[in-house]
Structure 1
C-alpha cells in the first residue's frame, strides 16, 4: 500500500520553485524554502529566510528534496473516473454494481493523486458517484485529488453518451433548464453538455448537431444564473461558433476548428481542452478491446484534430490540460496526463506554456486561483517534485517522484513507498 505522512509544520528545502506565473514574468526561485503549516503554504522564499521564519514560530520538520524542481500539482480538466468506452473493457465497468463502481473510482482517484495530478475536473460520471467520492476524499477516508465536477453530462434523447448513466437525457429548452438545475442541486461545480456527435457514438458522426439554439441558450442562461460555467463536448466548427456566440465557456475536443471560429473563441475568452490523446491512442483502445469502427473514426480524425489545435494556439485561445483517458493510465512510457501535456507542448505551446496549461490556467478557469495553482503563501500545499526542469522540457513531469496533497506527503520514491 502507499503510505501517508502527516506534517503539521514542514519546511521543504533543496528545491527550485517554479509555477505557471513564469509565462507572466515571475521567474523560478532557486535554493528555495517552502514552509507548509497545516494544509496550506505559510511562506515561500530564499531557503534561509523561510527556515528562520519557521524556527521563530516553533518546531518544524525539514524535508530536503535534493535539488528537485518543485511545482504545483497538475490539474486534469477532462476526467472520467468511471469511463466505459465501447468494448470489453468498458463492458466490465458498465456491469459493476454500485458498490464495485465506488471502489473502482476510489482506486482511480488514488492512482491519479499518486501520479502527480492533485486536482481534477470530472466531466460526466456515473450515477453521481463522483459526489460521494468527493465527500470521502474531503473527509480523508480515501486518498485522491481535489474534485470539481459536472455530475452527469446533459444530452438530447439518443445523444452522445446517452446509453450510460453518466449522462442525463433532456429535450427542449425547459427540459435542459431542468437538467442544469438537477445537477446544481446535486452539487455540480460546472455544467457539461454534449452539443455534437463524437468518436464513441456508433450511430452518429463527429459533425452531428445535437442541440437546437434554444436548448443550448437555455443551458447557458440557466447555468450562468446559478454561477456555473459550461463546457461542451463539441467537434465541428459551425456548432462551436454558435455555442461560443451564445456564451459558452469551454470547448472539449474541438476536432474541426477553423481560423474564424478560433478567433471568435479567443475574442470571447472561450477555453479549449483539446484532449489530443483521444485521436492517437491505438494502444489504449486495443487494451480495452475498443471496436474497429470507433478506432477508425478516432484515429482517422487525428491529423485534422492536430491542425485544429494548432489553429487555436495560433489564434491565442486559452488551452488547458485534459486527457479524457484516465489521468493515471500508463501510456507511451508515462501517465496519460503527462503524455497529453507533452503533446500539447510539442504541437505548439512549448514547455513554459505547458506548465501554465497544466496548473494555473485550469485553476483560473475553475475560479480557484486563491487556493490552488501556484506555489504562493496562502495556497493549498498541493505540490510535486521532479529532478529535471519542466520549463526546459515538458518531459520532466515523467520524473515526478514526490507528491504532497494538502500538506501531507503521499508519495516519496526515495523512501521506497509503493505508489502503484
Structure 2
C-alpha cells in the first residue's frame, strides 16, 4: 500500500503461514503467554496454546482447548516451544535504519549511492526483525528510502519489521541534523506547513520536528532553541489536520513545555526535563521516548569513530538524562521504548533494543518495560487493534525466550524464536 493508514499498520502481502501459504493454521504450544497487559493487572497464560490462521492470531488459551479447537482444521502445523515464554514482538519507537553519526563510519554511509543505501537499510531491517523487533517507528531516514523499504517489506520482497515512518525530519535552516538527507530544512510557519505536507505526500505515518539542539550537532548545544512558536504550531496543526501525530527531537525543558502546550504528541530524548514540565506532559498526554542509550554508549561511539566533542557532550549529559527520565516516570508520563541506535546493533552482550529496555526497566520495572515495548507503542501508533498484545485478531507477531520477561527485562537477551505475520522468521539461537 502506498498511502499510510492512520488507524492501523500497513497491510502485508501475501498473508502467510510458516510455509508462506495463505490461510495455513499453526498451533503453538509449550509456552507461557505474557504481554503488556500485565502492567494493567492481567495474568500470564500458563501451559498455553496459540492458534494462528494466516497472518493473524485466531485463539489464545489453555493448550488443551486450543488443540481441540484446531483438531478439525486441515493442514495444521504444530510448533512446540519447549517451555518458552511468548510475548508480542517488540516495537522500537526511535529507529534510524540509515543512521550516520559524525565520524568515519557515518561518513561511509553518507557517501553511499542510492542503491548501496537501499541495500544497507534492507540488511538492517532483516537484522532488526531477527532480533525480535517486529515493528519500528522510523524518525528520520535518508532520501525517502524508508518508503521504498516499507513497500518492499509489505510485498514480501525483503524481510523486515512493520514500518511506521516520519520520512524526513523537519529542521530549521542549519538546525539539528541539517547536514544529511534525512532532514528537510524549513523556515517560517508556511515553510513548516509545506514540509509537513511534503512528508504526507510521500506517505508519512507521523511527523518529526527538530525543536532544539542535540548531541550530534557540532555548532549547537543541547539546550539551543531552534523553532519559533509559530513554526511549531504550524507543523503540529497541519499534521493533526491530516490525522497524523507529531514527535519532536527535544532536550531542554522550556522548549518542550512550549511544544507540549501547542499540542505535541511525543518527545524524543528529553535530556533536561524538570518535574514541572514532566507533569505538564502527563496532563496533556504527551509521551516520552527517552533513548537512554544515547548518553551511555561509549563503546558504540568508539566503534563508529565518533569524534571526541560529541562523546563528551553525550556522556556528560548522562546523569541529567537519567534524572529527567525518572522525573517523567514519577509524573506519570507514558514512556515508550526507542533505542536511537540501530535496533539490531550488537551492544554490551545483547542488541541495542534490549539494552535500552534493560535501562528503562531499572526505573519502571519489568512489567511496565514489557508494556513500553509492546502495547504502549501500539496505542501511540493507533494500532492496538492489530499489534502489541497476544489476542485474537492481532497480527501473529510473536517472540519466544526461555526466561520470564515479567521477572526481568534481561529475558529478552534470550530471544530464540521470532514469528511475524504467521511466518516463522527465526529459529536459530543467534540472529545474524
The residue number in structure 1 matching 2:183 is 167
Distance 1:209 1:179 in 2: 19
Other structure's SS at 2:60 match: strand
Distance 1:49 1:206 in 2: 55
Cα contact 2:85–2:402 (8 A) shared by 1: yes
Other structure's SS at 2:120 match: helix
Distance 1:254 1:385 in 2: 32
- Indicate the RMSD between aligned Cα atoms, in angstroms: 0.9
Identify which of 38, 48, 52 aligns with 1:22.
38
TM-superposed deviation, 1:17: 0.3
TM-superposed deviation, 1:5: 4.5
TM-superposed deviation, 1:137: 0.2
Q: Which runs of 4+ in 1 moved over 2 A?
A: 4-7, 56-59
Q: Are 2:20 and 1:6 aligned?
A: yes
Structure-to-structure mapping, 1:115-154, within 5 angstroms: 115-154=131-170
Identify which of 396, 399, 406 aligns with 1:384.
399
The residue number in structure 1 matching 2:431 is 419
Cα contact 2:275–2:331 (8 A) shared by 1: yes
Q: Are 2:100 and 1:84 aligned?
A: yes
Other structure's SS at 1:343 match: helix
Q: Are 2:417 and 1:402 aligned?
A: yes
Identify which of 363, 372, 376 aligns with 1:361.
376
TM-superposed deviation, 1:58: 2.8
- Unaligned 5+ segments in structure 1 are none
Q: Are 2:344 and 1:332 aligned?
A: no
Other structure's SS at 1:296 match: helix
The aligned length equals: 413
TM-superposed deviation, 1:9: 1.0
The residue number in structure 2 matching 1:34 is 50
Cα contact 2:25–2:73 (8 A) shared by 1: no
Cα contact 1:6–1:409 (8 A) shared by 2: no
The residue number in structure 2 matching 1:184 is 200
1:7-41 CA-to-partner distances (Å, cap 9, x unmatched) read 62100000000000011121100000000111001
Distance 2:45 2:317 in 1: 42
Other structure's SS at 2:134 match: strand
The residue number in structure 2 matching 1:104 is 120
Q: Are 2:367 and 1:352 aligned?
A: yes
Structure-to-structure mapping, 1:193-232, within 5 angstroms: 193-232=209-248
Identify which of 275, 278, 281 aligns with 1:259.
275
1:127-167 CA-to-partner distances (Å, cap 9, x unmatched) read 00000000000000000000000000000000000000000
Q: Are 2:317 and 1:317 aligned?
A: no
Other structure's SS at 1:56 match: coil
Distance 1:324 1:114 in 2: 18
The residue number in structure 1 matching 2:5 is none
TM-superposed deviation, 1:61: 0.9
TM-superposed deviation, 1:333: 0.3
TM-score (norm: length of structure 1): 0.97
Other structure's SS at 1:192 match: strand
Distance 1:71 1:207 in 2: 38
Structure-to-structure mapping, 1:281-296, within 5 angstroms: 281-296=297-312
Other structure's SS at 1:68 match: strand
Distance 1:40 1:32 in 2: 17
Other structure's SS at 1:130 match: helix
Distance 1:259 1:380 in 2: 38
Other structure's SS at 1:176 match: helix
- Unaligned 5+ segments in structure 2 are 1-17
The residue number in structure 2 matching 1:244 is 260
TM-score (norm: length of structure 2): 0.95
Cα contact 1:14–1:66 (8 A) shared by 2: yes
TM-superposed deviation, 1:54: 1.1
Cα contact 1:194–1:210 (8 A) shared by 2: yes
Other structure's SS at 1:413 match: coil
Distance 1:307 1:14 in 2: 41
